[in-house]
């Protein structure tokens, strides 16, 4: 109970020793978010613009710093657009699954009984079946579309939030502060939104930093297999997937997106670890 939360200003907390590696990770993520927001302004060419005179141009070609692909499309432009696509999907899916999982977890904690059994059985089921297999079969039945892809990714990891949220909500009710507020006459909505949610938020945010890179990997894996983001749209995964065809002649097509994927997942993992150590009082 030593966390002086919300009290010291954020700036002061940040000034408390942040390891250099974490700082680098933060800078990289800020860069990625910047790219995602300003992709339209930053990219030198339209992603579909073909320069048939300069097909498979290597890295460092004037005008195409990262080279071009088999149709002469600028790799840098496509990379920037892909970063946006992958990040938007990952952000959207992370938030969806956090909201969905947390809501189910709270419902299980509030109603107990069969609601709880049902939620927990679904969570077990989700944990037992590899997500990729489930995603593939859903995509097979419904065909690939952007909405379906984000929706599907939004199920990734929900069972973890559900378990965490349920556990924390139950212990909050047993601990006292939640039951004390119930006892004051508060409605369940007020108890969960104004008291339990703020108290468990840090733990949930830490789990979000854990699922976020996994969702990026999952989406890029599906796109790599040609079952995720469909052309003409482009994501990091399907860039690697198409680059694979030219592995021998033009490895740079797959190299750039691969590096971005690895650095991004690494950065979020580092940030997540650091965040867990500093923010979360439940993991000591």
Partner 1 sequence: MATYLLTRLLRAFLTIVLVMTFAFVVLRLSGDPAQIMLGPDAPQDAIDAFRARWGLDDPLWKQYLAYLQQLLNGDFGVSMRDGSPALALVMERVPATLALTLPALMLKLCIGIPAGVYAALHRESIADRGVILLSIFGFTIPSFVLGLVLVLIFAVTLDWLPSGGQDTWRHAILPIATLSIGGIGILARFSRSAMIEVLGQPYIRTAMAKGLPWRDVVWKHALPNAAVPIVTLVGFMVGALIAGAVVVESIFSWPGVGRLIVVSVSNRDLAVVQCLLLVIAASMVVANLLVDLAYGLLDPRLRAARPAH
Partner 2 sequence: MTVLLQAEGLVQQYATARSMFGATSHVRAVDGIDLSVREGEILGIVGESGSGKSTLGRMLLGLEAPFAGQVRWQGRPMPAPRTKEWRRLRAEMQLIYQDPLAALDRRLTIARQIAEPLEIHGVPQGDIRPRVDALMAQVGLRPDQADRYPHELSGGQRQRVVIARALATRPRFLVCDEPVSALDVSIQAQVVNLLRDLQEQQSLTMVFISHDLKVVRNICDRVAVMYLGRVVEEAPSDQIFSDPRHPYTQALVSSIPRAGQGLGGRIILSGEPPNPAQRPSGCAFHPRCRFALPACAATEPALARHDGRLAACLRLDEPLPSAA
With binding defined as CB under 8 A, does residue 187 bind partner 2?
Answer: yes
How far is Cα 108 from Cα 53, in angstroms, rounded to an integer? 61
How far is Cα 53 from Cα 72, in angstroms, rounded to an integer? 7
With binding defined as CB under 8 A, does residue 141 bind partner 1?
Answer: yes
Binding segment for partner 2 (CB under 8 A), chosen from 132-140, 148-156, 183-191, 257-265, is 183-191
Q: Output the CA angle 32-37-40, nearest 5 degrees.
A: 110
With binding defined as CB under 8 A, does residue 151 bind partner 1?
Answer: no
Binding mask 162-181 for partner 2 (x = CB under 8 A): -------------xxx--xx
With binding defined as CB under 8 A, does residue 226 bind partner 1?
Answer: yes
Pick what 5 binds: partner 2, partner 1, none; C-beta below 5 to 8 Å, kind-dependent: partner 2
Binding mask 200-219 for partner 1 (x = CB under 8 A): -------------x---x--
With binding defined as CB under 8 A, does residue 266 bind partner 1?
Answer: yes
Binding segment for partner 2 (CB under 8 A), chosen from 3-11, 57-65, 90-98, 138-146, is 3-11
With binding defined as CB under 8 A, does residue 279 bind partner 1?
Answer: no
With binding defined as CB under 8 A, does residue 59 bind partner 2?
Answer: no
CB of 2 to partner 1, least distance (A): 22
Secondary structure in 3-state letters for the chain:
CCCCCCCCCHHHHHHCCCCHHHHHHHHHHHHHHHHHHHHHHHCCCCCCCCCHHHCCCCCCECCECCCECCCCCEHHHHHHHHHHHHHHHHHHHHHHHHHHHHHHHHHHHHHCHHHHHHHHHHHHHHHHCCHHHHHHHHHHHHCCCHHHHHHHHCCCCHHHHHHHHHHHHHHHHHHCHHHHHHHCCCCHHHHHHHHHHHHHHHHHHHHHHHHHHHHHHHHHHHHHCCCCCCCCCCCHHHHHHHHHHHCCCCCHHHHHHHHHHHHHHHHHHHHHHHHHHHHCCCCC
With binding defined as CB under 8 A, does residue 279 bind partner 2?
Answer: no
Site for partner 2 in 192-231 (CB under 8 A): 195, 198-199
With binding defined as CB under 8 A, does residue 184 bind partner 2?
Answer: yes
With binding defined as CB under 8 A, does residue 158 bind partner 1?
Answer: no
With binding defined as CB under 8 A, does residue 8 bind partner 2?
Answer: no
Pick what 125 binds: partner 2, partner 1, none; C-beta below 5 to 8 Å, kind-dependent: partner 1
With binding defined as CB under 8 A, does residue 20 bind partner 1?
Answer: no
With binding defined as CB under 8 A, does residue 115 bind partner 2?
Answer: no
With binding defined as CB under 8 A, does residue 251 bind partner 1?
Answer: yes
State the sign of the Cα–Cα–Cα–Cα dihedral 35, 38, 40, 42.
Answer: negative
Considering the complex, state which of residue 169 and residue 253 has its C-beta at the smaller distance from partner 1. 253
With binding defined as CB under 8 A, does residue 48 bind partner 2?
Answer: no
CB of 96 to partner 1, least distance (A): 19
Cis peptide bond prior to 232, omega within 30° of 0: yes
How far is Cα 96 from Cα 101, in angstroms, rounded to an integer? 8
Interface residue list for partner 2 (CB under 8 A): 1-2, 4-7, 175-177, 180-188, 190, 195, 198-199
């Amino acid at each position: 109970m030593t966390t002086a939360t919300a009290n010291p200003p954020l700036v002061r907390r940040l000034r408390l020793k942040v390891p250099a590696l974490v700082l680098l990770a933060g800078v990289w993520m800020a860069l990625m978010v910047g790219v995602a927001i300003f992709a339209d302004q930053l990219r030198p060419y339209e992603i579909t613009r073909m320069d048939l005179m300069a097909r498979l141009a290597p890295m460092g070609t004037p005008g195409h710093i990262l080279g071009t692909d088999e149709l002469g499309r600028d790799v840098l432009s496509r990379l920037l657009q892909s970063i946006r696509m992958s990040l938007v999907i990952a952000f959207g899916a992370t938030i969806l699954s956090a909201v969905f999982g947390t809501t189910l977890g709270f419902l299980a904690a509030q109603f107990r009984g069969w609601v709880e059994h049902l939620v927990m059985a679904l969570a077990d089921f989700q944990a037992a079946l590899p997500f990729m297999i489930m995603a593939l079969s859903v995509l097979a039945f419904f065909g690939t579309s952007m909405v379906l892809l984000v929706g599907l990714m939004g199920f990734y990891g929900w069972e973890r939030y559900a378990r965490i949220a349920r556990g924390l909500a139950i212990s909050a009710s047993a601990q006292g502060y939640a039951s004390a507020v119930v006892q004051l006459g508060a409605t369940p909505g007020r108890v969960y939104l104004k008291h339990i949610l703020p108290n468990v938020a840090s733990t949930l945010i830490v789990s979000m930093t854990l699922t976020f890179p996994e969702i990026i990997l999952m989406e890029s894996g599906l796109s790599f297999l040609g079952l995720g983001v469909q052309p003409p749209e482009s994501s990091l995964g399907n860039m690697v997937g198409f680059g694979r065809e030219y592995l021998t002649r033009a490895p740079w097509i797959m190299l750039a997106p691969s590096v971005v994927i690895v650095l991004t997942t690494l950065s979020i993992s580092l940030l997540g670890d650091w965040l867990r150590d500093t923010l979360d009082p439940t993991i000591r």
